Amino acid sequence: MKRKSVFAIISILLIGVIVFILNQTWKSQNKQNVRLVIPANISKDSINLLIINKLGIELYPDFQWWANINNLKFNKKTVLVVKPGTNFWNLISLMKNYRSTSFDWVLRSSGTVQDAFVSVIYEYQMNTDNMAWKDKSTLTWFLNDTVYKKYNTNLANAAVLFIANTYNLSSKETPKMFLDRMYKESVMKFWNYERRKAIHDLNLTIDQAVTLASIVTKESNAIKEFGKIASVYKKRLKLGMLLQADPTVVYARGRAGRVLLSDTKINSPYNTYLNKGLPPGPLCIPDPIAIDSVLFGASYNYLYFCAKPDNSGTHNFAVSLSEHEKNASAYHRWLSNRN
């Protein structure tokens, strides 16, 4: 009995060592994401060559043998994106869990509408063989102002159709179906009774609320500040003050970087240093928290804010202009000393 126990332990350890070695050695050799397209009912020789040529994984006796013992069948077309360094076992699991009908797409805030279009086109091309997304004119179609009449908006305000989130998209959707889906998720779902009542109470439209939220999103990476920043701008709007929002100048200028005095004189409807009220449309797809900060955020007495002189990315808020000027002077001294 003791010999059997020792043999069993040795066998288990040996199997463990083999599995460990295979986990370390049977990894894909691709240096970037690889789109792997496996046709339905692919032959044994073809699947073996595909795995070797695309991923650099060479198995013994071959890939098909391991697929068989894992009950992995290729009776339908499979399209996968394989990340660098994916080991064989995870690849098998990925193939077994494959679903050809949908994929997840992450829509991030802070980017422009065009960024969103480029992103979703890329994901459809990587994850599906849907020919509607292969055409080079697809992006041009998305950027056609007349497309948005159906949604009671225009290209300048198209950000109202997008709520930053993760979406499971059907691989069969066309660009038109995609926009219909975004409209349903935003205007029909996100903008519920409570949010619509809030914009009514603020005497804003959805377009204006999204535009203001886009400025808030661009002003700070610190979500905890969204409420105070939104409050500052809402107070300025109410008092008829110029918003003087730096992100609008950056948008009008067309490039990132520190805002200079000369930039505040750029002749653009988006420049809120020259034009009262909100700009013609959103600067980006706003963070949903920024939208709710505009709609439901507390009211503060602050009318001004300035970046803190500590590289934290947060701001000092001020009620009076004199207090704000002190904060601004401290920040500019810090900038000068840093440079």
Kindly state the tokens that stand for 48. 């073996």
The answer to whether 315 and 307 have CB atoms below 8 angstroms apart is yes
| For residue 17, pLDDT beyond 60 | no
Average pLDDT over residues 126-136: 84
Cis peptide before 61 (omega within 30 of 0): yes
Kindly state the tokens that stand for 299. 């009211």
% of residues, the chain, pLDDT over 90? 55
Helix axes 246-253, 206-219, angle to 10 degrees: 90
Helix axes 193-201, 206-219, angle to 10 degrees: 90
pLDDT in tens, 132-187: 998 889 999 999 999 999 999 999 999 999 999 999 898 889 999 999 999 999 99
The model's confidence at residue 14, banded by pLDDT at 50, 70 and 90, is low
* pLDDT value, residue 41: 83
pLDDT in tens, 295-320: 999 999 999 999 898 888 899 999 99
| For residue 195, pLDDT beyond 80 | yes
Single-letter amino acid code for the residue at 270: Y
The answer to whether 49 and 55 have CB atoms below 8 angstroms apart is no
Average pLDDT over residues 245-259: 91
The residues pairing with 35 across neighbouring beta strands, listed in sequence order, are 81
* pLDDT value, residue 113: 95
Q: Is the dihedral of CA 173, 179, 184, 190 positive or negative?
A: positive
Single-letter amino acid code for the residue at 243: L
The residues pairing with 169 across neighbouring beta strands, listed in sequence order, are 103
Single-letter amino acid code for the residue at 50: L
The torsion region of residue 242 among left (phi > 0), alpha (psi -120 to 50) and beta comes to beta
| For residue 56, pLDDT beyond 90 | no
**Distances from the Cα of 270 to the Cα of 243, 256, 288, angstroms:** 11, 15, 22
Give the residue with greater pLDDT, 338 vs 149: 149
* Distance between CA atoms of residues 324 and 339, nearest Å: 23
* Distance between CA atoms of residues 261 and 208, nearest Å: 27
| For residue 337, pLDDT beyond 90 | no
The model's confidence at residue 215, banded by pLDDT at 50, 70 and 90, is very high
The half-sphere exposure of 191 on its side-chain side, counting CA atoms within 13 A, is: 18
Give the residue with greater pLDDT, 95 vs 268: 268
Predicted model pTM: 0.73
The model's confidence at residue 34, banded by pLDDT at 50, 70 and 90, is confident
**What mean pLDDT, rounded, does the chain reach?**
87
Which has the minimum average pLDDT: 15-19, 66-70, 106-110, 189-193? 15-19
Closest CA to 289 of 161, 166, 110, 151: 110
* pLDDT value, residue 126: 79
Which residues of the chain form beta strands (DSSP E)? 34-38, 78-82, 102-107, 165-170, 304-307, 315-318
The model's confidence at residue 19, banded by pLDDT at 50, 70 and 90, is low
Helix (H, G, I), strand (E, B) or coil at 170: strand
* pLDDT value, residue 99: 52
